[in-house]
A and B are shown apart, each in its own frame.
Chain A
């Protein structure tokens, strides 16, 4: 306990940084749920593809130990866009292949859920077998830098070392902590305004409130779904870039645990609610760190999930309630 109070700020700030990444991924779950009332279980792979996009950008530009700080920053900017592109693209692909044919036939929700789980396995294994798959078409040799060690960890070829900026308590907040938390907040604000102000956002809210009425009013439901998946995917792409800056290593199954955590964050905050996803992510990240400090690191998931159960006991719709369709969001 003494340890917890002594390192309160360090635990809280690293928890917030971790939670920001959860929150960005949680957005994808919460938006799709808001519009479709479906959990997109393939969203974890959307995030995972984003992490690889970041590595591939660095590989493509031949980055290595010799790359200057300026070069790394430049490449990070390129990789944010690449990761948003790749993750957004994968999200659209999931919508096109795993959801649209089922929704068109008005199949039960459960079927779409299972289809998403299938898509998740297919995407993850495709990444895990990328050396074999490119081998079939004879591209494994020319693409060796990208596909080798498909089932092993892949790491960024450069080292991103954090620098201390200022002190809170006795913890020196680093550039990476700041970058992660601020980027996540900015993206969050941007998305919130987009959903509230833009025409497409109004369409999303309309479909979320009442799909039939929205269709009668001339809202193109397919287009709205696409935009929802695309936005969720792009947020996961940003999360993937921040994750690579913080952790630097990924693999084909890296999405799973993060996906479960982000989904938990979305439920905790109130699934369907954008601001809830942010709050849920931050609460979860901080709770994990506090739990690790107070009880023990091996208990951190237990603490996080007990917190979830307790929150749902008293607020069954999550901290902020479900509300993508309501006027608030």
Chain B
């Protein structure tokens, strides 16, 4: 779901972030050597890196991931008090241009045995080759572009299904769970939105009772609303981002539309409810290859993150970090060992069974449907 917009914003942030990460990296490195020299024999100073946005326009998603990684590291360090793992954050601002030099820094830091990230599809695309050549394993918690696993990279992994898994799941949900008879499909003409909507249309086939295309940043959807109502559709699917999705849902409800409103992960954001209002957003269904946080995880997350609630991709980031930390716990403290460990990993994670295909896709690509209830994005169900 991560768009070019996000990517651009991220690029801008990366420069500053690079500096910060560099300084921070120096600090942690010296800490690491200190503890190594003073620590008990046999404890090798190892660390895992987070590469992704921490500041910038996509900072929220990035911080969700950082928080999840933090929980995993704290869990590990509590279990292994005499041989702690350090986390090193590299803030790319989600920008491919800023991520590239950071990837070099990460590769040159020999204490790093694995990377959680890169966060978004753009930065993954820009850095995948370098990580692959360096043999440094990466596990992304949010990069969903399907093409990323087709480059022959040896070290790329992700713990969530790609965009191609979402459209069929959405269509299945619309037909099986919502029992729709006629679906109106709208998209925002973006790569992501149009791609998702086209996939849904293909899977729905003859159930599609009309389509329309809007523009990003548009705010008045009068004609689209008229078309939807005139089509007599009982379900609307929208492929696009939350800003427009919220306004469409609001204007549909205001015009008296009574059917379902379904959208993808681009709309899974509190901003959707904000724009739609709680009446407009009520009972909307938002799908995502990302899983909900369990109560147990939420408690731990809040304790580690100043009471902040986990968000989109927090649980995925935890799972990604957990895979790397399990490897370190098993004594895989060199990069080739860790890579081999991740490739053969097969354990239940928070969000799904974590097991990777040879190209790095997770085998169990689960898509969830979230229902908006009382002005909040509420419970998630697995689309089966």
Binding site for B on A (CB under 8 A): 3, 6-7, 10-11, 14-15, 18, 65, 151-153, 155, 159, 161-162, 174, 246-249, 251, 253-254, 257, 288-289, 292-293, 296-298, 300-301
Among the 9-residue stretches B18-26, B220-228, B309-317, B324-332, the one with 4 or more Cβ atoms under 8 Å from chain A is B220-228
Q: Is B254 an interface residue (CB 8 A)?
A: yes
Q: Is B382 an interface residue (CB 8 A)?
A: no
Contacts of A289 in B (CB 8 A): 222-223
A293 near B280 (CB under 8 angstroms)?
A: no
Tell me the complex Cα distance, A288–B219, Å: 13
Given contacts A159-B279, A249-B275, A293-B227, contact A14 B222 (CB under 8 A): yes
B226 near A159 (CB under 8 angstroms)?
A: no
Q: 28 A-B Cβ contacts within 8 A?
A: A10-B226, A11-B222, A11-B223, A14-B226, A18-B222, A155-B277, A159-B277, A161-B254, A161-B279, A174-B254, A248-B277, A249-B219, A249-B274, A253-B217, A254-B219, A257-B217, A289-B222, A289-B223, A292-B222, A293-B226, A293-B227, A296-B212, A297-B223, A297-B224, A297-B227, A298-B213, A300-B223, A301-B215
Tell me the complex Cα distance, A231–B254, Å: 33
Tell me the complex Cα distance, A311–B380, Å: 53
Contacts of B215 in A (CB 8 A): 298, 301
| Contact partner, A3, options B227, B274, B280, Cβ 8 Å | B227
Interface centre among B220, B243, B275 (most CB of A within 10 A): B220
Given contacts A18-B222, A300-B223, contact A153 B271 (CB under 8 A): yes
Contacts of A301 in B (CB 8 A): 215
B254 near A293 (CB under 8 angstroms)?
A: no
Contacts of B224 in A (CB 8 A): 292, 297
A159 near B214 (CB under 8 angstroms)?
A: no
Interface members, chain B 47-85 (any A CB < 8 Å): 57
B223 near A293 (CB under 8 angstroms)?
A: yes
Q: Is B355 an interface residue (CB 8 A)?
A: no
Chain B 150-194 against A: per-residue CB contact (8 Å), 1 yes, 0 no? 000000000000000000000000000000000000000100000
Q: Is B278 an interface residue (CB 8 A)?
A: yes
B219 near A247 (CB under 8 angstroms)?
A: yes
Contacts of B247 in A (CB 8 A): 247-249
B278 near A159 (CB under 8 angstroms)?
A: yes
**Count the A-B residue pairs with Cβ separation under 8 angstroms: how many?**
80
| Contact partner, B223, options A161, A247, A292, Cβ 8 Å | A292
**Interface size of B in residues (CB-CB distance below 8 Å):** 29
Tell me the complex Cα distance, A77–B212, Å: 37
Q: Which of chain A's residues has its CB closest to B217's CB? A: A257
B275 near A3 (CB under 8 angstroms)?
A: no
Tell me the complex Cα distance, A151–B224, Å: 27
Query: Top 3 A-B pairs ranked by shortest CB distance?
Result: A292-B223, A14-B222, A159-B277
A155 near B57 (CB under 8 angstroms)?
A: no
**Nearest chain A CB to B311 CB, angstrom units:** 14
Q: Is B259 an interface residue (CB 8 A)?
A: no
A153 near B275 (CB under 8 angstroms)?
A: yes
Tell me the complex Cα distance, A319–B278, Å: 43
Tell me the complex Cα distance, A151–B10, Å: 13
Given contacts A159-B280, A289-B222, A292-B223, 20 further A-B contacts (CB under 8 A): A11-B226, A14-B220, A18-B220, A18-B222, A65-B278, A153-B271, A153-B274, A159-B277, A161-B254, A161-B279, A174-B254, A253-B217, A257-B217, A257-B218, A292-B224, A296-B212, A297-B213, A297-B224, A298-B215, A300-B223
Tell me the complex Cα distance, A23–B254, Å: 24
Q: Is B246 an interface residue (CB 8 A)?
A: yes
B222 near A155 (CB under 8 angstroms)?
A: no
Chain B 243-271 against A: per-residue CB contact (8 Å), 1 yes, 0 no? 10011001000100000000000000001
Contacts of A65 in B (CB 8 A): 278, 375
A246 near B275 (CB under 8 angstroms)?
A: no
B217 near A15 (CB under 8 angstroms)?
A: no
Q: Which of chain B's residues has its CB closest to A250's CB? A: B219
A298 near B189 (CB under 8 angstroms)?
A: yes
Contacts of B243 in A (CB 8 A): 153, 249, 251
B275 near A296 (CB under 8 angstroms)?
A: no
**Nearest chain B CB to A128 CB, angstrom units:** 10
Q: Is B230 an interface residue (CB 8 A)?
A: yes
Contacts of A288 in B (CB 8 A): 223
**Nearest chain A CB to B224 CB, angstrom units:** 5
Tell me the complex Cα distance, A131–B249, Å: 29
Contacts of B250 in A (CB 8 A): 248
Tell me the complex Cα distance, A3–B209, Å: 14
Q: Which of chain A's residues has its CB closest to B375's CB? A: A65
